[in-house]
Amino acid sequence: YRGAAPFSEPETAALRDFLTAHLNVRAYVDLHSYGFMILWPWGHTPELSENNITFDLLGTGMAERIVEVRGTGYPYRGPVYTTIYPVNGGSLDYSYGELGLWSITFEIGYYFYMPTYEIIPTSEEMFQSLAFLSEWVFDCNGNGVADADEIAHGESDDCNGNLTPDECEQQPDFDTDGIVDICDADID
């Protein structure tokens, strides 16, 4: 229940208070059921967020991790509004729009309740997917922009595709040209 006004309900107020008190939080995740979907902002408008391309890359990577665990994935991905239906007053839009967090909703399974035999496989797939998210939001150079977002927008190179900007690689750059040797065509 969204309440009579923003944060009028104790649960939503507690969530807001927690997120605003922990400024080191970089991502927000909701787990819902049901539908095998990975969703991102916006829920309140059909307009795409300014980071929609990056969210699409993020959602695809998270879904690929699920496939690695289960053999099947979450085939439906996209903004809440256009992927399922409009959502008014959602925490996903708040956490992204007001706090700048990478905000994702998982619609897990097709179950109205989680059968016991699905709890462990669902936990394993969520763990791998969330591990990908944690790699994604990492900020190796401390500039306030997630490494993967820098790479997706062409602000940093990632010559070996490991979601780490080349300038943050721990690999050698013997010719000191700013390109790690594993990616440097000039190294013999």
Mean pLDDT for the chain overall: 85
As annotated, the active-site residues are 107
Q: What percent of the chain has pLDDT over 70?
A: 93
Q: Tell me which residue of 89, 108, 104, 12 sits closest to 49, measured CA to CA.
A: 104
Q: Who wins on pLDDT, 113 or 73?
A: 73
DSSP string for 107-174? E--S-SS--HHHHHHHHHHHHHHHHHHHHHH--TT-SSS-HHHHHHTTSS--TTSSSS-GGG--S--T
Query: Is the model's pLDDT at 82 over the cut of 90?
Result: yes
Q: pLDDT band at 52, cuts 50/70/90?
A: very high
For 75-89, what is the mean pLDDT? 92
Distance CA 40, CA 48 (A): 10
pTM comes to 0.77
